[in-house]
Amino acid sequence: MKRKSITREQLEQQLIDMRASLQDLEMCREALEKRKGEYQKLLETAPDAMVFVNQQGTIVLVNAQLEEMFGYGPGDLVGKDLGGLIPERFRERHRKLLAHYFENPSSRPMGLIYEIYGLRKNGTDFPADISLSCLKMDDETVAAASVRDITERKQVEETLEHNYHIQRVTSSVLKIALEPLSLDEQFDRILDLTLTIPHLSLQSKGGICLVEEGTGDLVMKAIRGFSPPERPPCLRIARGKCLCGKAVTTGKVIFSDCLEEGHETDHIPFPHGHYCVPIVSGERTLGLVNVFVKEGHKRKESEEEFLVAIANTLAGIIERHRANEEKIMLQEQLMQAEKMVALGRLTANVAHEIRNPLTAVGGFARRLHKSMHLESREKEYVAIIVAEVARLEKILNNVLIISKGVEMVKEYHDIHALLDEVLRLYEFLCKERAIIVSREYGIAQPPDILIDREHVREAVMNVVANAIDSMNRGGKLLVSIGQETVGGQSYVDVAIRDSGEGIPEEQLKMIFEPFFTTKGPQKGTGLGLVLAKQVVEDHGGFIRVKSRVGEGTTLNLLFPAGPR
């Protein structure tokens, strides 16, 4: 096939046409550059950062505000994929949203459903607000995005929301404080509110403890967020031990972001940190709020202020409950005192009227008993009369002691020796009833206490006798001595514990009522514990009682201890 020859004239014409086309292209390029320049100038005057993206997700145009916002230099972003400005965790979702936008392009804001974040060149991200619009550039549809960094706005919104939730919880806590609930119920509800507040970096795990009078130990009263395998064993914490104990000792908030030295809870099977916030009223530390945080958590002033506010509210609740308890106790004591005064007048008169004829009956019965034959049937009957008269005389003496009181002759005595003497008196009876007697004298050499020995001995005998009577089928009797400080006063604590039937809760308040007994009419007068209580109180002490049905009873006789 022969090539078609081109004449010189044709070649020159083609060159002329090509030059004209090149000139047209150059003019188009210049017009395009001019248009881009105009776009760029327009973009630079825009208040917001702007970016133009085509359907492939390629950046075709940006302004200086956007480059500065993302930390890039002039010209660094044009031609790059938009995904480089999106945090990796959001890129796939953003790619789908962009494709969906180009299917139906229109002007609208982004982020109505999902939060939007931008990724700076240095790897940090920030919340963004984006508005989209659609336009044509060089016959190509592009998305124009106006981008705003809303970090400050987000912080303000979060602060406002945080403050709202804190105010809401604080208001709810104050309402709970006024409700007629038990202290434990109030603790439970307040702890629930505290651990569920949004925006606090807490692990929804924590507890509220109270300082136990006497020992100073922290005792857990409310706990939340632990499954049985995780449940912390620190339901009782010695004063000064671990972070909680140290917070109570110092009266200051202690924060830990991990299981560090001094944190004695390595048995909890997960890494964690703590806010340990003491509950302080005046100069006294009443308890502690302990909340868990994730390991590595940074201490935040706002969190600490909130927890301190909760602790202060709890301090008011605790003081109010204790004031009410003290008021009720004083009212009961006043009623008891008035009752005892009235009873004293009555029983003293009755006792005097009965005593003289009873003495005569007893005297004649004893003389008659001595003069009768040994095998006489009537002698057995007279012996019963003698025994019952003796019992009545003892009851009358006790009634007179309760109604009039007795004069105390106090001297310093060894409490060890006194208790040993009482236990020896009941040694045979305990063996007969299969009762195991044990002693726990926690103080090797307790201080001698100023007491009327005979009356204290009688009081201890009454308590021990009651304990033995409660164990009809064998059991354990534990007598212990300790030392306790209550309200700044040191006491010697004589504790008598039995493993008997226990006392129902509804009867506990009645055991110190005169003539109240659970033993039956032939076994008790109902005066033993009344006398014991009066003797202890006449020495400036007091009695505590704890009992649970089926487990037994513990009576603590606390006598003031002091220097000779």
Q: How much of the chain, in percent, has pLDDT values that exceed 90?
A: 16
Tell me the pLDDT band of 79, cut-offs 50, 70 and 90: very high
pLDDT of residue 261: 54
Region 34-54 average pLDDT = 73
Helix boundaries (H) for 196-230: none
Q: How far apart are the C-alpha atoms of 366 and 383, rounded to whole Å?
A: 8
Residue 81 pLDDT: 94
Q: Cα 347 to chain center, whole Å? A: 51
pTM score of the predicted model: 0.51
For the chain, residues classed under CATH 3.30.450.40 are 155-313
The sign of the torsion formed by the CA atoms of 398, 402, 407, 411 equals positive
Residue 103 or 397, more confident: 103
Which residues have CB under 8 Å from 210's CB, separation 6+? Answer: 218, 219, 221, 286, 287, 318
Interval 262-315: pLDDT, tens: 556 555 656 677 788 899 988 888 888 888 887 777 888 888 888 888 888 889
pLDDT digit string (tens) for 127-177? 998 888 888 877 788 898 899 999 999 888 888 887 887 788 888 888 888
Beta bridge pairs of residue 215: none
State residue 117's pLDDT score. 92
Confidence of residue 122 (pLDDT cuts 50, 70, 90): very high
Give the mean pLDDT of 254-260.
Answer: 76
27-31, 162-166, 314-318, 400-404 — which one is most confidently predicted on average?
A: 314-318
Residue 470 CB contacts under 8 Å (≥ 6 apart), including other chains: 498, 500, 501, 502, 552, 553
Q: Give 245-260 as a DSSP string.
A: HHHHHHTS-EEESSS-
pLDDT for 179 equals 84
pLDDT of amino acid 404: 61
Question: How confident is residue 517, by pLDDT bands cut at 50, 70 and 90?
Answer: confident
What digits encode the pLDDT tens for the residues 181-193?
888 888 888 888 8
Per-residue pLDDT averaged across 378-398, rounded?
A: 76
Q: What is the mean pLDDT of residues 503-529?
A: 72
pLDDT tens track for 197-213: 765 666 678 888 888 87
pLDDT at 33: 64
Q: 47-72: per-residue pLDDT in tens? A: 789 899 999 999 988 888 999 999 99
Structure tokens at 387: 């025994």
**What pLDDT is stored for residue 127 in this prediction?**
92
The CATH architecture that domain 46-149 belongs to is 2-Layer Sandwich (3.30)
Are 307 and 288 in contact by the 8 Å Cβ rule? The answer is: no
Question: Which of 17-26, 342-351, 415-424 bottoms out in mean pLDDT, i.e. has the lowest?
Answer: 342-351
Taking 90 as the threshold, does the pLDDT of residue 125 lie above it? yes
Share of the chain above pLDDT 70, in %: 82
Q: What is the pLDDT of residue 364?
A: 77
pLDDT of residue 554: 93
CB atoms within 10 A of CB 317: 22
Q: Please report the pLDDT score of residue 245 as a whole number.
A: 80
Whole-angstrom Cα distance, residue 54 to residue 144?
9
Confidence at residue 86, expressed as pLDDT on a 0 to 100 scale: 93
pLDDT at 74 over 60: yes
Q: State the pairing for strand pair 284-293/49-53.
A: unpaired
Just give the CATH number of 408-560. Answer: 3.30.565.10
| CA proximity to 481, closest of 553, 431, 414 | 414
pLDDT value of position 260 = 66
Q: Which residue would you say has higher pLDDT here, 39 or 279?
A: 279
Instruction: With cut-offs at 50, 70 and 90, classify the pLDDT of residue 498.
Output: very high
**Per-residue exposure over 365-376, b if at least 16 CB sit within 10 Å of its own CB, e if not:** bbeebeebeeee
CA-CA distance, 264 to 242, in Å (whole number)? 5
Q: Note the Cα 175 to chain centre separation in Å.
A: 18
Q: Tell me if residue 500 falls in helix, strand or coil.
A: coil
Q: Per-residue pLDDT tens for 434-453?
A: 999 999 887 666 667 888 88
pLDDT tens profile 330-371: 887 778 767 766 766 776 677 667 767 777 777 777 887 778
Q: Of 185-189, 214-218, 396-400, 407-411, which one has max mean pLDDT? A: 185-189
Band (pLDDT 50/70/90 cuts) for residue 35 is low
State in words which class domain 155-313 has.
alpha beta
Closest to 235 in 3D by CA, of 254, 262, 209, 253: 209
Q: What is the pLDDT of the chain when averaged over all its residues?
A: 81
- CATH 3.30.450.20 domain range(s) in the chain: 46-149
CA 135: distance to chain centroid? 61
Q: For 463-499, give the DSSP string.
A: HHHHHHHT-TT-EEEEEEEEEEEETTEEEEEEEEEE-
- For residue 453, the one-letter residue type is R
Average the pLDDT over each of 139-153, 236-250, 493-507 and give the range with the smallest value. Answer: 236-250
Q: Which residue has the higher pLDDT, 81 or 223?
A: 81
What is the pLDDT averaged over residues 509-526? 68
